[in-house]
Chains A and B, each alone.
Chain A
C-alpha cells in the first residue's frame, strides 16, 4: 500500500492467522475461507539471500535476492537494496527495513514503484 507510510498488506486467515500475499480461495494451512487484511511490520531480519549474477536479458545484475522475516513473523521475498552485492557486506540475521523506490517509467511517463529492504 502506497501513501504517506508505504507498507505491505497481507490477507490473514481469520481462523489460524496464516498470512498470504494475494488472494486465496481457502487457507493453505487450515482450509478456512475467511480472511482479513493486516498491515505487515516494516522491519525484520535477513533470513537468507543469494547474489544473482546470471539472469534473463534486460534484468540488471548483480542484485541481492532475499527472504526477510518481519518482526511480526511474516516471510517476504524481495531484493536487498542500498547495499553492495558483496557476500562480505551481507550478514545473515542483519536488521533490515522496508523501503520503496521508482523501478521504471513507462512511455506515458507513469512511474512504477517497487519495494525492497535496506540495512537499518
Chain B
C-alpha cells in the first residue's frame, strides 16, 4: 500500500449567496484559509487541483493562482458533477501516492446564485416538428416521458426503496429534512440555520412528491479547500501540525456499473455500496465505528436510501433508522450534523471538499457548538449524477 496521506489544513467559506464576490474570490479565500490552517504557504505546494462544475472551462485553478501565488506547479482543473470536489481531492491524493508530489492543495468552488432547477428544458410554443437528437424526438421529452428534474429523479430513487422495503413513506423522508434543518441551527457556516417542525416540512410547497421545498437542497455559492501531505513530508512537520492533522484512511471513487434499469432511472445505490465497501476495507473500519457521517442529501429521499447503501442501518431498515432518531446528532450514528446539503447548502463543486472539512473539524475537536464529542473516525460521501461516487474515511491523528 502506498504511503498514508493526511489533511494538514482545511477551510471553507460559509455557504450562501455572494453577489459581491466571484468564484475566484471564494476559491482564493478557501485556499488561503487552508494554507494558513496547515501552517504552510503556496510555495510548499507541489500540485493544485481545482474543481468547479458550471465554470469547468474557465481555467479556475490558474485564476486562483493569480490571486494566491503563481509558482508554476501543475494545475488540474476537474469536473465530475456533484462529485467534483471529491474528485479534486482524489487528484491530489493520487499524485502523492504516485510520489509525484509531497504536498498539494485541493479546492472546490461553485457560484450558482439562484439557478433554480438544474435540468428539464422548456418547450417552444410554436414550431415545425423535425426528428432530432439521438432518439429522433420532435420535442424535448421532459414531462412527457417522465422527468429529468433532480427533485423528481431523486424522489423516484426514494420511492423505489419504499417499493422494496416496508415502513418507508412520505413521513420518513420528511423526518430526514426535519433533522438536517435542526442540525444546521448549530452551524454558522450553513446557508440556512432555521428549524422547522415535521408538519412544516411536510406542508411546504410540493416540488416532486414526496420531496417538498424544505426537503430539497438550495443552490448557492461557496468554496472549500484542503492541504494534503504524504507521510514522508508529514514526518518533518512540527508536533503541533501533526497533532491537528487528520489521517485519510480511505479514498475511493466509483462509477455506476450496468444495471438493467440504469438507463431509465440513474442507479445511485450500487456505486455507493461499492465505494463504501472498498472504503471500509481500505480503512479497516466498519459502519459501527463511525463517529459521524456527512452524506449526499441533495434531497431527503436520497439521504434515507444512503443509510442503507453506506451500511449505517440493517438492510432494508432505513425507515426504522430515521424513525428511532438514529441519525440525529445524539443518535447511534450522527448524519449530516452540518445541516447537510439540504440546509448547509450545495454549491456543487465545493460540496465534496466541504464534507471533508466538516468531518476533519469534528475529529480535531474544533467544531464549536455542533461538535460531536469524542469523534475519532468519520465518513464523507458525495454522489454526482451520471454517475460518480466519492467516499473518504478520516481518522483523528492520535499524535498528542
A residues with a Cβ closer than 8 A to B are: 18-23, 28-29, 47-61, 63, 65-67, 69, 73-79, 87, 92-93, 103-104, 106-108, 110, 112, 114-116
Contact = CB atoms under 8 A, between A and B. Distances in A.
B156 to A, nearest CB: 4
Contact of A51 (B206, B262, B264): B206
Nearest to B136: A22
B208 interface: yes
B156 A49 contact: yes
Given A48-B156, A52-B208, A60 B143 contact: yes
Contacts, number: 146
A54 B147 contact: no
Contacts of B160: 47-48, 67
Contacts of A20: 263
Interface stretch (B77-85, B124-132, B174-182, B283-291): B124-132
Contact of A67 (B135, B139, B156): B156
Nearest to A87: B209
A53 B263 CA distance: 23
Contacts of A61: 143
Nearest to A56: B122
30 contacts: A29-B258, A48-B156, A48-B157, A48-B162, A49-B159, A50-B156, A50-B208, A52-B151, A53-B207, A55-B120, A55-B149, A56-B142, A57-B122, A58-B122, A59-B122, A59-B142, A65-B156, A65-B208, A67-B146, A67-B160, A67-B264, A67-B265, A73-B260, A77-B265, A79-B145, A92-B159, A106-B126, A108-B129, A112-B129, A112-B138
Interface of B: 117, 120-129, 134-135, 138-139, 142-147, 149, 151-153, 155-157, 159-160, 162-163, 170, 205-211, 258, 260-265
Contact of B152 (A21, A47, A52, A106): A52
A116 to B, nearest CB: 8
A109 to B, nearest CB: 10
Contacts of A69: 261
Contacts of B125: 58
A99 to B, nearest CB: 13
B145 A52 contact: no
The 7 closest A-B pairs by CB, nearest first: A50-B155, A75-B261, A65-B147, A51-B209, A48-B160, A59-B143, A77-B146
A37 to B, nearest CB: 15
A114 B127 CA distance: 17
B259 to A, nearest CB: 9
Contacts of B145: 77-79, 114-115
A50 B147 contact: yes
Nearest to A63: B143
Nearest to B153: A50
Contacts of A56: 117, 120-122, 142
B261 A47 contact: yes
B159 A104 contact: no
A71 to B, nearest CB: 14
Nearest to A57: B122
B370 to A, nearest CB: 31
Given A47-B160, A93-B163, A55 B263 contact: no
A60 B143 CA distance: 7
